[in-house]
């Protein structure tokens, strides 16, 4: 009786699914430039590797790195705000 259930489960397939592979998706169908990127990409780091990378710097060092990044972006922020202010003044003078 157990054999009958297994046989029925094996034989039971959807009508539209013949169970064959039409196109293998192993990367050979990609263009050459995409295939190289597909084959040479790095594997996702493990959780232990991510923790080691996270703990490479102390908390103060990480804060200093973030602060330095923001300070490096500060002149560009000022230039952008100045450009919007100049555009606003020009529009105000034009419409006034």
Report which listed range, 1-5, 40-44, 48-52, 91-95, is most confident.
Answer: 91-95
What is the pLDDT averaged over residues 70-90? 97
pLDDT of 40:
65
Whole-model pTM: value is 0.43
What's the CA gap between 29 and 23, in Å, rounded?
9
Specify the higher pLDDT residue, 62 or 23. 62
Q: pLDDT at residue 5 above 90?
A: no
Is the pLDDT reported for residue 88 higher than 90?
yes
Res 92: pLDDT? 96
pLDDT for 29: 64
């Amino acid at each position: 009786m157990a054999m009958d259930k297994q046989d029925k489960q094996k034989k039971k397939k959807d009508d539209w699914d013949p169970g064959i592979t039409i196109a293998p998706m192993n990367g050979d169908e990609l263009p050459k430039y995409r295939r190289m990127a597909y084959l040479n990409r790095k594997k996702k780091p493990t959780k232990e590797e991510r923790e080691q990378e996270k703990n490479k710097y102390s908390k103060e060092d990480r804060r200093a790195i973030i602060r330095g990044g923001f300070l490096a972006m500060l002149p560009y922020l000022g230039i952008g705000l100045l450009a919007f202010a100049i555009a606003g003044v020009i529009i105000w003078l034009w419409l006034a």
